[in-house]
């Protein structure tokens, strides 16, 4: 079974408008709500691709209940850990050719609710299960929380994939997860060295150093329109994706990780899993906002993704 953990979920509300007018009424033509947060996105993509996962998330207030309703509508299985603070919301003002993203701050979460997360995972996760931990932490929660929760999951015999940024990523890798999926900017912050514009060999060397330092078995580095690199002990693969019109890149990395983990859990080899990941990530840029990817787009793009072993 695949589980995902979202510690800091959000409701993304898209307001579609023609233009912003100063000191005047702005008419909203329509709005759309999407359940969001990186772990939730991973579960949504797995569901869209025909797989099964359980999304574990901290949810509170009316916004949290709205996220539950939306997950129900999409058929995503979830376990909500109810908290007192209202779940945060992102407001996206969507104009014809650009958008404004307003991210509301989240509230602090009580210590006993953090302990409830551990208890819930210990009750659900069994030997050999896969857990994808993605995203940020609620306000005031130390990055060390991720170190501890990954240790707990590994003691249960789970396979852990971790996708975060900054201090959270630095803390999480100390617990030696199975795999991580930084983009090039996140890789720079983890490695504390500018990697933008780095050559393929330099990225591979960095991934190898991370593997040796933190014992991470799979380092996936997403490179946007340039594809991705996958470093493992047994080989290195480079992926190229087709050039596509970008409607929105939001959620592309989550779609990539979801497809990779799902296919690997099904037993496919690295090359094939990476192709599915590239197809899902590419398909995600074809949809607006956090609609993520559509299964038919992923299947159509699969044959257009190129993967080659380079080491």
Residue 246, helix vs strand vs coil:
coil
38 pLDDT higher than 90: yes
Using a 10 angstrom Cβ sphere, with 0-12 exposed, 13-18 middle and 19 or more buried, the burial of residue 33 is middle
* Per-residue model confidence (pLDDT) at position 280: 96
244 pLDDT higher than 90: no
Residue 258, helix vs strand vs coil:
helix
pLDDT tens digits, 129-184: 999 999 999 998 999 999 999 999 999 999 999 999 999 999 999 999 999 999 99
Residue 224 binned pLDDT confidence (cut-offs 50, 70, 90):
confident
Residue 148, CB-side half-sphere exposure with 13 Å CA sphere: 11
Contact between 280 and 255 (Cβ < 8 Å): yes
* Per-residue model confidence (pLDDT) at position 103: 84
pLDDT tens digits, 88-140: 999 988 888 778 888 887 888 989 999 999 999 999 999 999 999 999 999 98
246-274 in b/e burial notation, b at 16+ Cβ within 10 A? Answer: eebebbbbbbbbbbbbbbbbeeeebeebb
Contact between 23 and 117 (Cβ < 8 Å): no
> What rounded mean pLDDT belongs to the chain?
93
Closest CA to 51 of 83, 19, 76: 76
* Alpha carbon distance 227, 235 (integer Å): 17
* Per-residue model confidence (pLDDT) at position 286: 87
* Per-residue model confidence (pLDDT) at position 220: 96
* Per-residue model confidence (pLDDT) at position 277: 96
* Per-residue model confidence (pLDDT) at position 115: 94
Whether pTM > 0.75 for this model: the answer is yes
pLDDT tens digits, 184-217: 999 999 988 888 888 999 999 999 999 999 999 9
Residue 226 binned pLDDT confidence (cut-offs 50, 70, 90):
confident
Report the residue count for the chain.
311
Of 196-200, 237-241, 264-268, the least confident: 196-200
225 pLDDT higher than 70: yes
Secondary structure percentages of the chain, helix, strand, coil, to 5: 40, 25, 35
Quote the tokens at residue 177: 């997860």
- Per DSSP, what are the bridge partners of residue 58? 81
pLDDT tens digits, 76-95: 999 999 999 999 999 988 88
Using a 10 angstrom Cβ sphere, with 0-12 exposed, 13-18 middle and 19 or more buried, the burial of residue 24 is exposed
Q: How would CATH label the architecture of 1-141?
A: 3-Layer(aba) Sandwich (3.40)
248 pLDDT higher than 70: yes
68 pLDDT higher than 90: yes
CA distances from 229 to 24, 161, 276, 307 (A): 48, 16, 14, 9
Residue 289 binned pLDDT confidence (cut-offs 50, 70, 90):
low
> Can you give the residue ranges of every domain in the chain?
1-141
191-228 in b/e burial notation, b at 16+ Cβ within 10 A? Answer: beeebeebeeeebbebbeebbeebebbbbbbbbbeebb
Contact between 29 and 20 (Cβ < 8 Å): no
* Alpha carbon distance 178, 176 (integer Å): 7
* Per-residue model confidence (pLDDT) at position 145: 97
* Per-residue model confidence (pLDDT) at position 168: 97
């Amino acid at each position: 079974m695949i589980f995902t953990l979202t510690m800091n979920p959000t409701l993304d509300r898209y307001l579609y408008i023609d233009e912003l007018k100063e000191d005047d009424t702005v008419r909203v033509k329509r709005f759309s709500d999407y359940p969001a947060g990186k772990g939730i996105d991973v579960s949504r993509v797995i569901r869209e691709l025909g797989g099964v996962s359980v999304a574990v998330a901290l949810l509170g207030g009316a916004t949290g209940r709205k996220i539950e309703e939306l997950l129900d509508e999409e058929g995503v299985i979830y376990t909500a850990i109810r908290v007192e603070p209202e779940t945060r919301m992102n407001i996206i003002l969507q104009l014809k050719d650009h958008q404004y993203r307003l991210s509301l701050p989240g509230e602090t979460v009580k210590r006993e609710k953090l302990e409830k997360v551990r208890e819930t995972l210990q009750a659900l996760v069994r030997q050999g299960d896969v857990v994808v931990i993605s995203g940020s932490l609620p306000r005031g929660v130390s990055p060390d929380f991720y170190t501890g929760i990954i240790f707990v999951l590994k003691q249960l015999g789970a396979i852990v994939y971790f996708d975060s940024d900054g201090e959270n990523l630095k803390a999480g890798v100390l617990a030696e997860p199975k795999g991580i999926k930084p983009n090039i900017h996140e890789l720079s912050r983890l490695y504390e060295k500018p990697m933008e514009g780095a050559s393929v060999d330099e990225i591979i060397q960095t991934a190898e150093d991370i593997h040796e330092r933190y014992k991470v078995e799979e380092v996936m580095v997403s490179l946007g329109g340039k594809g991705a690199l996958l470093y493992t002990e047994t080989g290195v693969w480079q992926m190229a994706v087709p050039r596509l019109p970008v409607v929105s890149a939001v959620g592309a990395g989550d779609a990539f990780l979801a497809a990779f983990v799902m296919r690997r859990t099904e037993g496919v080899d690295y090359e094939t899993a990476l192709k599915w990941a590239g197809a899902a990530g590419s398909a995600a840029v074809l949809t607006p906002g956090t609609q993520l990817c559509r299964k038919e787009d992923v299947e159509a793009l699969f044959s257009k993704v190129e993967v080659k072993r380079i080491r």
